[in-house]
Structure 1
Amino acid sequence: MEFTWTGSTERTLSAGSTKLEVLEYSATPMEGPLQGFPQMLARPARWRQLAVHVSGAAATLESGALQYLRGDLEMQAVSAAGGGGGLGGFLRGAVTAAATGEGMYKTAFKGSGVIYTEPTRLHLLLGELRGESLIVDDGAFVACAGDIAVSRHVNHGFAQMVGSGEGRVQPKLTGSGVFALQSPVPPEEFQILELSGDVLKVDGNLVVAYTDGLTFSVERSARGLLGSGKTGEGFVQAFRGTGRVWLAPTLPLHMGGVTA
């Protein structure tokens, strides 16, 4: 059976001269049901696309995320060397090198218009930064807009626990503006936990982002103390201090059936 895809706005988030818009596409059968026969129909999963609206502002997309854009927008790949001359260095130093020496390249835009990302079956989580920093899980970053610099954060937590000298490199967003992350988990199922001099321990990779006012470490869990922590099991992620954590308790329920 053939389908036609219908788009609608799922949610928006605005800050200053920028706006993020999540477009959702659902499948509708091109043929109506036959009279007198039940229509047993398994429709394709929905697709989602991010539209980044800027008006005289800057935006940054994950490399390869761009599908098309409309408006008076300049575009440039940015890396560890800094913003470069093509855009007057408007994102100078926005993206720094990974610990391995290779650059983490993003695509930077400046001007006025709308930028559209490639459709995905993952869910898009929107958030806002107000003069703070956010450390994002690998593969979760999609885009940001406003006065936000994208750099790298080397997370040594698990490496130190197992005696390795190499840390995990994660995106770090700093400044004020709006951002979009992707996850198999719908936004409604996320818990945004506010910690104030508190401790949060998480068994499993359920945290998609956290503010850098929190101290992160990896510690042995009860299973680890019993000798079961040989391949990562038996460890928990610990967050201490004051800040916010984006936690997805239902992530195990969504794994295996969703692909980008």
Structure 2
Amino acid sequence: MHASRIGNLLVRGMLAGLVAALCAFAVAYGLGEPSVDASIAVEEAQAAHEAHAGHGAAAAEEEEEAPVSRSVQSTAGLATGVLVYGVALGGIASLAFCFVLGRIGRFTPRATAALTAAAAFTTVYLVPFLKYPATPPAVGNPDTIGKRTTLFFLMILLSVLLGIAAIIVGRRLAPRLGNWNATLVAGAGFVLATAVAFVFLPANEDAVKPSFPAALLWEFRLASLAVQAVLWTAFAVAFGTLAQRLLMPGLPRTEQAARDVPAAG
């Protein structure tokens, strides 16, 4: 693909990432922030109870005011973080799209964008989330945050590498098994290899305090999952539309639909 075409797709990917981030921010603010506020309230209540009982040095110290207020964190801070995150991932995903376009089958740019977004969501977020699910702030053991962060990023790296390996295996098996059967075999291999990684990687047993309410924990985790799902779905729709208009501006709808359906092997 020509460098200028890649540059155009990169700009469109970042723009689509911005649109997706706005959608994700709406979900994060509406679903995620209430559970974060509730989590902070639980931690403050537990800290107040310990201070009242005279446990630790906290009983004699004044509570320090946070350098950034909670209202700013939940609005401007959240928006800034999500927007930067979305634009960056949109740019990276658009480069991945340029690499796989035409290499995974005779799909239109719109369908390729959807497949790229689905693969990114699965490998970068869903698989690591299943092993090391998100936790609300300030509810885990602060002494192990470095170890937990390392394990999470290690799981992301393993998931991405296994996903790439599955794509390579699927492509090599396609001439013998057909596209459909090769995809099933490669997918099964990915699931099996991921299960093995889940077994051998250590668990985050101290990621959440035992006294933290289980219902609130899962409410936060489901909200986190929803934010990522909306982010990647919105990106797939926005970038797929922009890429389609750039690369195939005159392709009839009937031909687009025919090319988006893989041939069964």
TM-score (norm 2): 0.25
| TM-score between both structures, scaled by the size of structure 1 | 0.25
Task: Point out the structure with max Rg over C-alpha.
Answer: 2
